[in-house]
Amino acid sequence: MENTFHVPTVAELMAKGQTPDLLFWVGCAGSFDERAQRITKDICKILNHVGLNYAILGTEESCTGDPAKRAGNEFLFQMQAMMNIEILNGYEIKKIVTACPHCFNTLKNEYPELGGTFEVIHHTQLIQDLIDQGKLRPDDGHVFKGKKITYHDPCYLGRANEVYEAPRKVLESLDAQLSELKRCRSNGLCCGAGGAQMFKEPEPGNKDVNIERIEDVIESKAEIVAAACPFCMTMLSDGVKIKEKEQEIQVLDIAEITARANKL
Amino acid sequence: MISQLIFFILFAVAIVFFARNAKKIYRNIKLGRATQRTDNPGERFRIMAMVALGQQKMFKKPLAAILHVFVYVGFCIINIEMLEIVIDGLFGTHRVLSVMGSFYDFLIYAFEWLALAVLVSCVIFFIRRNVLHIYRFGGRELLKWPRTDANIILITEILLMAAFLTMNAADGKLQQLGADGYHTAGAFPVSQYLVGLLPDNINGLVMVERFCWWFHIIGVLLFLNYLPLSKHLHIILAFPNTYFSNLTPKGKLNNIESVTAEVKAMLDPSLPPPSGEVTRFGVKDVQDLTWKNLLDAYTCTECGRCTASCPANITGKLLSPRKIMMDTRDRVTEVGKQIDQKGSFEDDGKSLLDTYITREEIWACISCNACVEQCPVNINPLEIIIGLRQYAVMEESQAPSSINGMFSNLENNGAPWKYAQADRANWANQ
């Protein structure tokens, strides 16, 4: 897919003597993972569509350090954090939207003690806010009308930060048939990728966590399972593939659903 | 007079023993490192009122919650009865609180129903634990002593309630017979049905009544002293443990300040390197945990809600958050015993990591906070797991090789995968 608009970097804006109102923190998955890149682009489409003065850090962005911290490498985490904070403070960034709940959690909760205090929101919160403001409105006759949609709570958005409503509100705006998974909200089951598990093989067991989770999705009879995290996206998509349900179940990020519903 | 003396001695000995064991547990908890958990007392009291007093999180499982409320309310209220027993025991009176008149009758009436509710609930708990195959009552950490411990608690409660009701039945019958010393007091809506099982002569009835009275009070005093050895300690520690809850979002892991000082010095060579004593990074043994982690361990009642919600556990991995807490308690108890014997702790060649908790367990954690969310008394097994990982990584460089690979990618490319930082924004131009 080709971008019909330019995604500005903070450095570019600064060169023009401008500063962004909102920094879009893309995250490593959103930058490098092909599937997650599509979500990143949809978030940019939304930001562009509503005319927000936003920018990305581009090549100046670096991992927040979340996987290092969860894997016990506090040194590496703090190195990453302090380098990022220096850049963010240097650009006088005040407000950040993230595409990934792990970046969201780390920037929001773990950076302040290291000198980086920002207003941090997740993209589902931004989208909900834009819907509330009337800036985003599902197009008449959009593809999700009447579709059976369920939502998988990412641990780092849900339990970790108690953001349960924003993604649901976004889905409620669609006029679709919404259902909950049997393990949802604070009782939601992890996709299996958190705590640096994304980067290693699981310990011996009798099942992979994403299979356990995709069985919940299959049981819900949903045609679309909405995700809000690039790692959940990978794990759920793999689960759908392994269960050979690609024809029946689509895994889509809340941002992708919003972009499509608004025909962006 | 002799019975009063015996009662006094038993009562005093029980209290002294309990105080001694409670002091040891307090000392063991204080072996942990400092952590700030006293800010915002208003919010802390609110959490304690909701979670401990109000049993809020128990209701994630409604059936168990309702049965537990019966036992909990029954236990708390029947303790008013204990007050009477203690006064009667010390002063040789009989049903001294009956001076309250009809209110006393109401109390005894309520106690009887509660006692029945406790008894029935405990029987159901016993069946759930031993007959039905409920996931959280299984698991390799719940064999042997922990299983026995749970059953001892349930059987004791069943026996205590049975003794209480039998005592009331005998007392009621003695009142009807106009026996000397048994004035009319109380109402016996439940125990009246037991009267038929009792002897008809006054001597026999007095024996039954006295036996049950002594059985009840000795049972309670023994139970009090059993608490410090048992998972049942939660009935006391649930309150401080919820008061000292973590008030920050669950996703936030603590900052290690000693690392901050070193990282700052690394990034800015003009800063002086951190001085002062070098502390251990992460957790190898219980002394490296915070006192709150240790309080958590003593508070755990091994209900297994954490384990039953743990994605790693339910997919067959070795990790069980409940076992993390039980291992921590076992280890701190062992360290405490050594301090009792030798006056101070010396390296005994054991440690929480490896002797109790294996590497396979800690690396199976997904840090999803399900265990933290489920715990009805706000225990946090995740903090301990992360602490153990920190020791493995920062002190020993012992991480799974793929994790080491992720670390080096992060160090070199600023991303956990092998992509160049310069390519980070390529998506925007594709």
User: Is the domain of A55 the same as that of A25?
Assistant: yes
User: Is the domain of A92 the same as that of A170?
Assistant: no
B262 touches A: beta carbon within 8 Å: yes
Buried (b) or exposed (e) across A169-203, using 16+ Cβ within 10 A?
bbbebbebebeebebbbbbbbbbbbbbbbbbbebb
Taking only residues 309 to 368 of chain B, the set having a beta carbon closer than 8 angstroms to any beta carbon of chain A reads 309, 311-312, 314-319, 360, 363-368
Q: How many CB atoms lie within 10 A of CB A145?
A: 13
User: Is the domain of A157 the same as that of A229?
Assistant: yes
Provide the sign of the torsion angle of the four alpha carbons A148, A154, A160, A163, taken in this order: negative
Distance CA B193, CA B337 (A): 49
The chain A residue lying nearest B282, using CA atoms, is A72
Provide, as residue numbers in chain B, all residues whose Cβ is less than 8 Å from the Cβ of A75.
Answer: 259, 262-263, 394
Amino acid residing at B185: A
Residue among A32, A40, A181 with most chain B CBs within 10 A, to mutate:
A32
Measured in whole angstroms, the distance separating CA B26 from the mean position of its chain's CA atoms is 14
Contact across the interface for A82 and B267, Cβ inside 8 Å: yes
User: Is the domain of A46 the same as that of A104?
Assistant: yes
pLDDT at B192: 92
Amino acid residing at A209: V
- Mean pLDDT, residues A212-217 taken together: 97
Which residue among B259, B364, B423 sits closest to A74, beta carbon to beta carbon? B259
Contact across the interface for B428 and A70, Cβ inside 8 Å: no
Provide, as residue numbers in chain A, all residues whose Cβ is less than 8 Å from the Cβ of B430.
Answer: 2-3, 37
Contact across the interface for B424 and A58, Cβ inside 8 Å: yes
Distance CA A94, CA A107 (A): 12
Q: Which helix (H) or strand (E) holds B427?
A: none
The chain A residue lying nearest B361, using CA atoms, is A203
| DSSP category for residue B368 | -
Which residue among B363, B373, B414 sits closest to A159, beta carbon to beta carbon? B373
pLDDT category of residue A169 using cuts at 50, 70 and 90:
very high
State how far the alpha carbon of A254 is from the alpha carbons of A134, A166, B177, in Å. Answer: 17, 10, 77
- Mean pLDDT, residues B198-227 taken together: 92
Final residue belonging to a domain, choices A128, A158, A193: A128
pLDDT at A25: 98
Is the pLDDT higher at B275 or at A67? A67
State how far the alpha carbon of B25 is from the alpha carbons of A148, B335, B352, B377, in Å. Answer: 54, 11, 18, 18
A48 touches B: beta carbon within 8 Å: no
User: Is the domain of A118 the same as that of A144?
Assistant: no
Distance (Å) from the C-alpha of residue B245 to the closest C-alpha of chain A?
A: 15
Provide, as residue numbers in chain A, all residues whose Cβ is less than 8 Å from the Cβ of B363.
Answer: 200, 203
State the count of interchain CB pairs (< 8 A) between A and B: 217
CATH code of the domain covering residue A117: 3.40.50.1860
Choose the weakest-confidence range: B94-108, B260-274, B342-356. B260-274
Distance (Å) from the C-alpha of residue B74 to the closest C-alpha of chain A?
A: 29
Amino acid residing at B391: Y
pLDDT category of residue B278 using cuts at 50, 70 and 90:
low
Residue among B255, B318, B421 with most chain A CBs within 10 A, to mutate:
B255
Distance CA B89, CA B95 (A): 10
User: Is the domain of A165 the same as that of A246?
Assistant: yes
How many CA atoms, within 13 angstroms, populate the side-chain half-sphere of residue B152? Answer: 15
Taking chain A, what is the end-to-end CA distance rounded to the nearest angstrom? 12
User: Is the domain of A144 the same as that of A124?
Assistant: no
- Mean pLDDT, residues B47-63 taken together: 94
Contact across the interface for B364 and A202, Cβ inside 8 Å: yes
Whether A133 is in a domain gets the answer: no
Angle at B37 (CA atoms; ends B35, B42), nearest 5 degrees: 170
Taking only residues 161 to 180 of chain A, the set having a beta carbon closer than 8 angstroms to any beta carbon of chain B reads 161-162
Contact across the interface for A160 and B392, Cβ inside 8 Å: no
Q: How is B224-283 classified by DSSP, letter by letter?
A: HHHGGGSGGGHHHHHHHHHHT---S-TTPPPP-HHHHHHHHHHH-TTSPPP-SPPPPSS-
- Mean pLDDT, residues B134-146 taken together: 92
Final residue belonging to a domain, choices A102, A128, A154: A128
- Mean pLDDT, residues B191-198 taken together: 91
- Mean pLDDT, residues B392-412 taken together: 96
Taking only residues 187 to 216 of chain A, the set having a beta carbon closer than 8 angstroms to any beta carbon of chain B reads 187-190, 192-209, 211-213
HEC assignment per residue over chain A: CCCCCCCCEHHHHHHCCCCCCEEEECCHHHHHCHHHHHHHHHHHHHHHHCCCCEEECHHHCCCCCHHHHHCCCHHHHHHHHHHHHHHHHHCCCCEEEECCHHHHHHHHHHCHHHCCCCEEEEHHHHHHHHHHCCCCCCCCCCCCCCCEEEECCCCCCCCCCCCCHHHHHHHHCCCCEEEECCCCHHHCCCCCCCCCHHHCCCCCCCCCHHHHHHHHHHHHCCCEEEECCHHHHHHHHHHHHHCCCCCCCEEEEHHHHHHHHCCC
Length of chain B measured in residues: 430
pLDDT category of residue A1 using cuts at 50, 70 and 90:
very low
B394 touches A: beta carbon within 8 Å: yes
Is the pLDDT higher at A116 or at B268? A116
Distance (Å) from the C-alpha of residue B220 to the closest C-alpha of chain A?
A: 37
Buried (b) or exposed (e) across A51-86, using 16+ Cβ within 10 A?
ebebbbbbbbbbbbbbbbbbbbbbbbbbbbbbbbbe
**Residues A35-55: tens digit of each pLDDT:** 999 999 999 999 999 999 999
Distance CA A7, CA A142 (A): 26
B260 touches A: beta carbon within 8 Å: yes
**Quick check: helix, strand or coil at residue B373?**
helix
- Mean pLDDT, residues B71-91 taken together: 86
Contact across the interface for B364 and A203, Cβ inside 8 Å: yes
pLDDT at A163: 97
The chain B residue lying nearest A8, using CA atoms, is B428
CATH code of the domain covering residue A162: 3.40.50
A59 touches B: beta carbon within 8 Å: yes
Contact across the interface for B251 and A161, Cβ inside 8 Å: yes
Distance CA A20, CA B370 (A): 37
pLDDT category of residue B77 using cuts at 50, 70 and 90:
confident
| DSSP category for residue B393 | I
pLDDT at A92: 96
Distance CA A219, CA B157 (A): 41
Of B111, B114, B116, nearest in space to B185 by CA: B111
pLDDT at A196: 85
Contact across the interface for A78 and B253, Cβ inside 8 Å: no
Domain boundaries, chain B: 2-231, 257-418
pLDDT at B180: 85
A84 touches B: beta carbon within 8 Å: no
User: Is the domain of A207 the same as that of A120?
Assistant: no
Whether A74 is in a domain gets the answer: yes
- Mean pLDDT, residues B52-61 taken together: 94
Contact across the interface for A161 and B249, Cβ inside 8 Å: yes
Final residue belonging to a domain, choices A82, A100, A128: A128
Overall CATH class of domain B257-418: mainly alpha
**Residues A53-109: tens digit of each pLDDT:** 999 999 999 999 999 999 999 999 999 999 999 999 999 999 999 999 999 999 999
Q: Write phi, then psi, for B252 (nearest 5 degrees).
A: -80, 120
pLDDT at B44: 97
User: Is the domain of A143 the same as that of A184?
Assistant: yes
Tokens of A127: 């989208």
B389 touches A: beta carbon within 8 Å: yes
Of B312, B383, B360, B264, nearest in space to A69 by CA: B383
B139 touches A: beta carbon within 8 Å: no
Which residue among B252, B389, B421 sits closest to A71, beta carbon to beta carbon? B389
Contact across the interface for A70 and B422, Cβ inside 8 Å: no
A253: domain range? 138-261
- Mean pLDDT, residues A239-243 taken together: 96
Q: How is B317-332 classified by DSSP, letter by letter?
A: -S--HHHHHHHHHHHH
Contact across the interface for B406 and A199, Cβ inside 8 Å: yes
pLDDT reading at B421 higher than 50: yes
pLDDT reading at B277 higher than 70: no
In the block, residue with structure tokens 């999700």: A144
Whether A28 is in a domain gets the answer: yes
**Residues B294-310: tens digit of each pLDDT:** 999 999 999 999 999 99
What is the number of domains present in chain A?
A: 2
Contact across the interface for B255 and A40, Cβ inside 8 Å: no
pLDDT category of residue A3 using cuts at 50, 70 and 90:
low
State how far the alpha carbon of B353 is from the alpha carbons of B59, B193, B377, in Å. Answer: 34, 56, 25
B390 touches A: beta carbon within 8 Å: yes
Measured in whole angstroms, the distance separating CA B258 from the mean position of its chain's CA atoms is 32
User: Is the domain of A48 the same as that of A98?
Assistant: yes
